Chain A
Amino acid sequence: DTEVTQTPKHLVMGMTNKKSLKCEQHMGHRAMYWYKQKAKKPPELMFVYSYEKLSINESVPSRFSPECPNSSLLNLHLHALQPEDSALYLCASSQGTGYEQYFGPGTRLTVT
Chain B
Amino acid sequence: TQLLEQSPQFLSIQEGENLTVYCNSSSVFSSLQWYRQEPGEGPVLLVTVVTGGEVKKLKRLTFQFGDARKDSSLHITAAQTGDTGLYLCAGARGSYIPTFGRGTSLIVHP
Residue positions of A touching B, CB distance < 8 A? 2, 4, 6, 33, 39-43, 45, 48, 56, 88, 90, 92, 96-106, 108
- Count of residues in B whose CB is under 8 Å from the partner chain: 27
Residue contact A104 to B45, C-beta cutoff 8 Å = no
Q: Chain A at the B interface: mostly helix, strand, loop or mixed?
A: loop
30 A–B pairs (Cβ distance < 8 Å), ordered by A: A4-B42, A39-B39, A40-B86, A40-B105, A42-B88, A42-B100, A42-B102, A43-B43, A43-B100, A56-B97, A88-B40, A92-B42, A96-B95, A97-B96, A97-B97, A98-B30, A98-B93, A98-B94, A98-B97, A98-B98, A99-B31, A100-B45, A101-B33, A101-B45, A101-B90, A101-B98, A102-B45, A103-B44, A105-B41, A106-B41
CB distance from A10 to the nearest CB of B (A): 9
CB distance from B49 to the nearest CB of A (A): 10
CB distance from B11 to the nearest CB of A (A): 12
Q: A40-B86, A40-B103, A42-B102 are in contact. Are A103 and B97 (CB under 8 A)?
A: no
Nearest A residue (CB) for B102: A42
Q: How far is the CA of A16 from the CA of B86 in the complex (A)?
A: 33
Q: A42-B100, A42-B102, A100-B33 are in contact. Are A106 and B95 (CB under 8 A)?
A: no
Q: How far is the CA of A40 from the CA of B97 in the complex (A)?
A: 21
With beta carbons under 8 angstroms apart, the residue of B42, B96, B102 that contacts A90 is B42
Nearest B residue (CB) for A98: B95
Nearest B residue (CB) for A45: B97
CB distance from B86 to the nearest CB of A (A): 6
